[in-house]
């Protein structure tokens, strides 16, 4: 029987990502799996050529993005993990979301990725968002794609 040991849940903090996370939590409870919840910051201010902004301003922007991500993780932790005995870790990385998610899964031996079919943009007419599609195609492990609620 397939028993995942480490489940990776990528989140863009959308409603659909929350919905997928809740399903991943149920699986983790059932299988006694660990969880990694990852957000990829695609706007890495440290690497952007904002020649018109000074260092102090760049640091301020960087800190406010980091603050926003940490607040979102805290909300997820309070809302979904309180009172649950699941070993879990919140991770922020920088780069292109799909490549970072795939690399993280490889390096950390995640054996299941759980994510929604669509995220933040949820464009009508496309069944898969671009991140989900790329992750499903190139992931080193199984991917459970959660169909969003109507
Ligand atoms: N920056 C990100 N960090 C972590 N996970 C992400 C990120 N962006 C997307 N994802 C994951 O992919 C899921 C689906 O989002 P995706 O980007 O594929 O679709 P979309 O936003 O609806 O469409 P688009 O292709 O226009 O971005 C998200 O809910 C999340 O699980
Ligand atoms: Mg997106």
pLDDT tens per residue, range 9-66 = 999 999 999 999 999 999 999 999 999 999 999 986 566 667 778 888 888 888 899 9
Instruction: List pocket residues of ligand 1, CB cut-off 6 Å.
Output: 10-12, 14, 16-17, 38-40, 42, 97, 115-116, 118-123, 129-132
Which ligand approaches the C-alpha of residue 96 most closely? 1
Report how far apart the first and last C-alpha atoms of the chain are (Å, whole number). 31
pLDDT tens per residue, range 109-143 = 999 999 999 998 877 777 899 999 999 999 999 99
For residue 148, the CA-to-ligand 1 centroid distance in Å is: 13
For residue 90, the CA-to-ligand 2 centroid distance in Å is: 19
Question: What pTM was computed for the model?
Answer: 0.94
CA 1 to each of CA 8, 34, 106, 140: distance values in angstroms, whole numbers, following the listed order: 19, 18, 22, 19
């Amino acid at each position: 029987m397939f028993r995942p040991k480490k489940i990776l849940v990528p989140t863009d903090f959308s409603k659909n990502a929350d919905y997928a996370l809740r399903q991943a939590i149920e699986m983790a409870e059932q299988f006694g799996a660990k969880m990694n919840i990852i957000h990829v910051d695609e706007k890495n201010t440290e690497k952007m050529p904002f020649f018109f902004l000074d260092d102090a301003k760049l640091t301020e922007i960087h800190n406010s993005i980091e603050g926003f991500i940490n607040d979102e993780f805290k909300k997820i932790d309070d809302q979904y993990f309180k009172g649950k005995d699941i070993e879990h870790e919140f991770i922020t990385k920088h780069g292109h979301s799909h490549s970072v998610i795939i690399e993280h899964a490889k390096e950390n031996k995640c054996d299941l990725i759980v994510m929604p079919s669509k995220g933040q943009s949820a464009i009508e007419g496309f069944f898969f968002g671009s991140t989900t599609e790329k992750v499903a195609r190139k992931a080193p492990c199984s991917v459970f794609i959660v169909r969003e609620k109507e």
